[in-house]
Structure 1
Amino acid sequence: MAGSKMTSTTTDRMRAARNRGESKTDVTKVRAGTPYVWDGKNEDERPLTREEMQAGIEVYRKQRGRPTGGDKESTTIRFDRDVLAAFRAGGPGWQTRMNAALRDWLKTHSCE
């Protein structure tokens, strides 16, 4: 970025500068600021309770990682190249569309 000055330093150097009073952040000013107080008028601006925050964290933790896939099973199967190319040409979601096409075929055909 033109005109910007980026510097790099260690945590120890930053602490030493702060102790010498050379810090560029006025920590006392930040700490002295008044905390947010909800006026009770707008429910959307109400700060979350500790329990609500914890519940949100738990939901996030459960959502992390790769989706389980529900009742799906992983397998290896071979299809003709032109069939795969046709489904892939439709863009993202081609495997879901292929699954739907096979399910639709099963409605009119018996595999026994």
Structure 2
Amino acid sequence: MKKEHIVTRQWGDRRKGKTDWARFDALTEKDIETAIANDPDWKEFENIDWSKAVLVIPAKKKAISIRIDEDVLDFFKSGGDGYQGRMNAVLRSYMLQKAKPKTKKRA
């Protein structure tokens, strides 16, 4: 691990965010509804029927240590953040292919 990327902090040290919490706390329901109505990104969602929406909880992950060929790891890392998820997706695809019942070929 390169030392220049390590940041140490003392207990209680926190970065101050840019959120204006006083302004946020002062918002009324009407202010929030008006802001939503004026948001152009909301237009495509305003008429969606959410009554049949289903909460999907992602599968539990388990931290492991695994040895991977360096070139394989470099390949997945070259795709940017989320490389572990991509590796998991490839392994899941392999697992699902192997789990399919074998069908007999007709001659």
Of Structure 1 and Structure 2, the greater helix share is in 1
Q: Taking structure 2 as the reference length, what is the TM-score of the superposition? A: 0.39
Q: Taking structure 1 as the reference length, what is the TM-score of the superposition? A: 0.37
